[in-house]
A and B are shown apart, each in its own frame.
Chain A
Amino acid sequence: MGLEIQVQVNGKNYQSEIEPRLLLVHYLREVLGLTGTHVGCETSLCGACTVLVDGRAVKSCTMLAVQADGSEITTIEGLTATPEAAGGLHPVQEGFWEKHGLQCGYCTPGMILSAVQLLRDNPSPTEAEIRHAIAGNLCRCTGYQHIVEAVEYAAKKLRSRKR
């Protein structure tokens, strides 16, 4: 039985008929073909599937696509089109590049979206605040230090622009 939903993903409107039990992460990956959002644990613990729903970081494996009906969603693919990106990479993406914030890259899309929410809420986070903000995102490679530095890099860049 199909239900109709309308969502805006990365600025583009979509209308789809879906099964109610379809998870948001599968909708994004399999129906819309946006495979930048990863599936890690499937059990709500790793944060690899994190996307922004109406501006808030959400584990898309723990939300039904029908719950997102009427929402605006941002995935990793849409970050270069956000105002912060100013035509290039988003400063958080740039930070991960410059500070070596990834190794295998599996956790990276989710990690970046959690960091984007953090910097919108709190433009000058302390190291402890950064670590707290990514507590729902697990990384098996980096040991987190370079991720923290990547977020600090982005915070600095975003602040310098505002001046």
Chain B
Amino acid sequence: MIPAAFEYFAPKNLDEALRLVERHGDEAKLLAGGHSLLPLMKLRLSAPRYVIDIGRIRALHGVREEDGRLVIGALTTHHDVESSELVRQRCLLLAEAAAEIGDVQVRNRGTVGGSLAHADPAADYPAAMLALEAEIVATSSGGSRAIPAGEFFVDLLTTQLRPDEILTEVRVPVAGRRSGGAYRKLHQPASGFALVGVAARVRLGEGEKIESVAIGMTGVAAHAYRAATAEQALAGKKPGAKLLGEAAGRVTEGVDTLGDMHGSAGYRRAVATVYARRALEAAIARAGGKTA
């Protein structure tokens, strides 16, 4: 359980790091918290020739509020997100998702950027970022581009990021009044990853009707996705038990559901319905000013 030998770089700023990824591209791996990469390297499932440790780039750490958005640096740890007063106040869903990741030690090291770039099919942040309609910022020496979360996750462990790009920050729109969000997850008991994770965000409008809704799903398919048919079933309607039940029943519609030793595809579909209903109920309650 010792990684294969590699050449190690620890750039102190983003420019230096960008030059290194440009030079070593495909043969290099970025190292952030190391909680996805190092386990793979120890199993020799990954044996990069170069490791570029971006952990010392101060500018990529921390959360701030800017123009109605939370801007979260790629190297912000799960613990920092979970315990940030700013995140708790502005975007409870996100703090809730961070708090559900792995265990204390994993949250102390793992980072937002690493989780999104890795795109594990059972990771928690992808569902949250989809429901929040966040933008993921990728930077190369040629400049930056903002990728909508809805386009970012392409396939199993595959995203829109190019080898010469570094994920530098995530921008999360801060919801206005009458909005609420929640994350609900069934843990796979051994690893802590999501068997099913559902992020729901709801805005209530006139007559308590659902003005807008977004549902992000993880653990269910090869990559996280928006449950579009369920969203359509809810939009413009007044929420009640029957409607929520019907909509929650559609969150895996048209989706090629994963089945593995931890749970069959049928089991995941059944559980997805239950957790979607719970996430929606909590999001609606919070949008209405109640605690949930």
Contact = CB atoms under 8 A, between A and B. Distances in A.
Given A44-B35, A62-B38, A136 B53 contact: no
14 contacts: A19-B5, A21-B6, A23-B38, A42-B1, A43-B39, A44-B106, A59-B106, A62-B38, A63-B34, A63-B109, A64-B34, A67-B53, A134-B104, A136-B102
Contacts of A64: 8, 31, 34, 38, 53
Nearest to A44: B39
Interface string B48-75: 0001010100000000000000000000
B157 interface: no
Interface residues of A, number: 32
Contacts of A69: 10
Contacts, number: 81
A154 interface: no
| Best-surrounded residue of B42, B55, B190 (most CB of chain A within 10 A) | B42
Contacts of A67: 31, 34, 53, 55
A74 interface: no
A47 interface: yes
Interface of A: 1, 3, 19-21, 23, 26, 42-45, 47, 50, 56-59, 61-64, 66-67, 69, 114, 117-118, 132-136
B191 interface: yes
A50 B105 CA distance: 8
Contact of A58 (B31, B51, B53, B108): B108
Given A21-B4, A67-B34, A43 B42 contact: yes
B103 interface: yes
Given A43-B39, A45-B190, A20 B103 contact: no
Contacts of B35: 44, 62
B1 A56 contact: no
A134 B8 CA distance: 33
Interface string B184-205: 0000001110000000000000
A77 B53 CA distance: 29
B103 A136 contact: yes
Contacts of B261: none
Nearest to B106: A136
The 10 closest A-B pairs by CB, nearest first: A136-B103, A20-B8, A42-B1, A56-B108, A21-B3, A136-B105, A135-B103, A59-B105, A57-B105, A62-B38
Given A1-B7, A43-B42, A44-B39, 18 more contacts: A20-B6, A20-B7, A20-B51, A21-B5, A23-B3, A23-B42, A43-B1, A43-B39, A45-B190, A47-B103, A56-B108, A57-B108, A62-B34, A62-B38, A62-B39, A63-B34, A64-B53, A66-B10
Contacts of B31: 64, 67
A23 B2 contact: yes
Contacts of A1: 7
Contacts of B108: 56-58
B79 interface: yes
Contacts of B103: 47, 135-136
Contacts of B8: 3, 20, 64, 66
Interface string B1-38: 11111111010000000000000000000010011001
Contact of A63 (B2, B38, B102): B38
Contacts of B39: 43-44, 62
Contacts of A59: 105-106, 109
Given A20-B7, A21-B4, A43-B1, A58 B105 contact: yes
Contacts of B3: 21, 23
